[in-house]
Amino acid sequence: MPQPCDVTAAPIPPRRIRTGEVFMTVANTDVNCASILSAALLERGFSPFFGTPCGILAPLYTQLECQGGLWTVSREDNAVGVAAGAAMAGRSPVVLMQNSGLGQSVNAIASLVVPYGIPMLLIVSMRGIAPDFTTENGVMGRLTEPLLNDSGIPTVRLDAASVIQQVEWGRSFVVERRLPAALLVPPALFGWQA
């Protein structure tokens, strides 16, 4: 478990580094959004946090590691399994993953989370949608929402202006009604660039 650290020292994705003024403006906004999201999750009773790293999620990942503690699990379906155990022990866990890892997790979702009705919040980054046009991610980009929704897991696409209300939506499912739900992270939300 990482030790509490200085959140102001959270690393900014190197691809954002440009000239002084632009760097400061954009990077602060990105870190702020991740910081607001991280704080909103912690304030609303979510924990523990599990995740498999993803470039899009990196600013949020860092914030959570600093503010709340986050366990890195080497494959996403194992993270879903660990979260299922934590949820059955009464917690309201969160799993951070890229949507490629959602592909790895289909059976865990289809045969464990949904049929047993195990509460957890999935925070899934969306590779393969604009502005990410990488060919290898396009299929999961198209499948992410229908896959989750058709499995019976409701989704919301995060947007910077509504992060707090959207976390509150997640809380109403996971913490209050003890059901699974997913927040989807568009590539640019925390400043990711192709």
Partner 1 sequence: MNKTAAIREVIGATVDEPIVFTTGYSCRVARSISDRPNHFYMTGSMGLAASIGVGIALSSALPVVVVDGDGSLAMNPGCLLTAGAMPNIPLLHLVLDDGLYESTGGQGVPSQRVDFTALARAAGYREVSRADNLSTFGKLLKKLLEKCSTPTFVHCVLTSREMTEPPPRIETDLYQHHLRFSQHLNRVNPELQ
- Taking alpha carbons only, the member of 181, 174, 191, 156 closest to residue 35 is 191
Determine, following the binding rule CB under 8 A, whether residue 167 of this chain makes contact with partner 1: no
Report in angstroms the alpha-carbon separations of 171 from 2, 24, 26, 47, 71: 25, 32, 29, 11, 21
Determine, following the binding rule CB under 8 A, whether residue 180 of this chain makes contact with partner 1: no
Of the residues 34, 73, 96, 167, which one makes contact with partner 1 according to CB under 8 A: 73
CA–CA dist 37, 68 (Å, integer):
12
What is the DSSP track for 22-83? HHHHHHHHHHHHHHHHHHHHHHTT-B-EEE---TTTHHHHHHHHHHT--EE-SSHHHHHHHH
- Measure CA of the first residue to CA of the last residue in the chain; give whole Å: 31
Determine, following the binding rule CB under 8 A, whether residue 80 of this chain makes contact with partner 1: yes
- 85 sits in the region (left: phi over 0; alpha: psi -120 to 50; else beta) called alpha
Determine, following the binding rule CB under 8 A, whether residue 191 of this chain makes contact with partner 1: no
Q: By C-beta, is 22 or 106 nearer to partner 1?
A: 106
Determine, following the binding rule CB under 8 A, whether residue 106 of this chain makes contact with partner 1: no
Determine, following the binding rule CB under 8 A, whether residue 148 of this chain makes contact with partner 1: no
Of the residues 41, 96, 118, 140, which one makes contact with partner 1 according to CB under 8 A: 118
Question: Binding segment for partner 1 among 55-63, 81-89, 140-148, 158-166 (CB under 8 A)?
Answer: 81-89
Determine, following the binding rule CB under 8 A, whether residue 94 of this chain makes contact with partner 1: no
Determine, following the binding rule CB under 8 A, whether residue 107 of this chain makes contact with partner 1: yes
Question: Binding segment for partner 1 among 83-91, 127-135, 141-149, 156-164 (CB under 8 A)?
Answer: 83-91
Residues 42-61 within binding reach of partner 1 (CB under 8 A): 48
| Interacting residues with partner 1 (CB under 8 A) | 48, 71-75, 77-91, 93, 107-108, 110-112, 115-118
